[in-house]
Amino acid sequence: MRGLPRYFFGRWLSISNTSHQINEAIRDKEVRLIGDDGAQLGIMPSREALRIAAERELDLVKIAPQALPPVCRIMDYGKFRFEQAKKEKEARKRQKLVEIKEIRLSPGIDVHDFAFKLKNAHGFLRDGDKVKVSVRFRGREMSHTSLGEKQLLRFAEGCADAAVMEKSPKLEGRTMTMYLSPKPAPK
């Protein structure tokens, strides 16, 4: 049952990379053996290597199947998989997911509303999120798209100290959008 994904609460879980051949699954005639302490034990028949691993109450794991002869190592495979899963979990924890926050303006937005939305955008950018700023045109506002573009450029100018314009204002249908991303931290 070793090396197979587990079924847990209606989901198949794959704890780290389980593509290694272990113990009796190794069908090669000869293998290059590495001991549990990292010492080279030489080239020997796979049955002999399996016997040595069984004497030490550890697993025989094929770590380099493409080599001639394949390289196998004596190790505690359960502990090895646990360590791999732990490293993957740490890597995922350190990974920063960038979210896109949206702020909507209108072509005739008032000064106070504009300042309030600008303040919110500064907060999003400070947290490391990207900001999508959009202006929706309704009815006759479609004939004055230049007003919306001016609003977006003014908005980008207001965020210039915390953001860089990733995509300039572009009209798609009845909506004009612009993307701002946080400035990289100075090194």
pLDDT string in tens for the chain (187-residue length): 444 455 444 444 444 445 777 887 788 888 888 888 888 888 888 888 888 888 888 888 888 888 888 888 888 888 888 988 998 888 888 877 778 899 999 888 899 999 999 999 999 988 888 999 999 999 888 888 888 889 999 999 998 888 888 888 988 989 999 999 988 876 6
**What pLDDT, on a 0 to 100 scale, did the predictor assign at position 14?**
47
Sequence spans of domains, the chain = 6-92, 100-182
Superfamily of domain 100-182, CATH level 4: Translation initiation factor 3 (IF-3), C-terminal domain (3.30.110.10)
Ramachandran angles phi, psi of 89, nearest 5°: -65, -40
Residue 69 CA to residue 187 CA, distance in Å, equals 48
Which CATH fold topology does 6-92 show? Ubiquitin-like (UB roll) (3.10.20)
**What pLDDT, on a 0 to 100 scale, did the predictor assign at position 113?**
92
pTM exceeding 0.85 = no
Q: Which of 129, 115, 31 is nearest to 71 (CA)?
A: 31
Q: Which of 181, 178, 183 is nearest to 104 (CA)?
A: 178
The beta strands (E) that lie in 52-97 are given as: 59-64, 71-75
Please return the burial class of 124, using the count of CB atoms within 10 Å of its CB with bins 0-12, 13-18 and 19+: buried
Beta bridge partners of 181: 164
Strand pairing report for 71-75 and 30-34: parallel
**What pLDDT, on a 0 to 100 scale, did the predictor assign at position 18?**
53
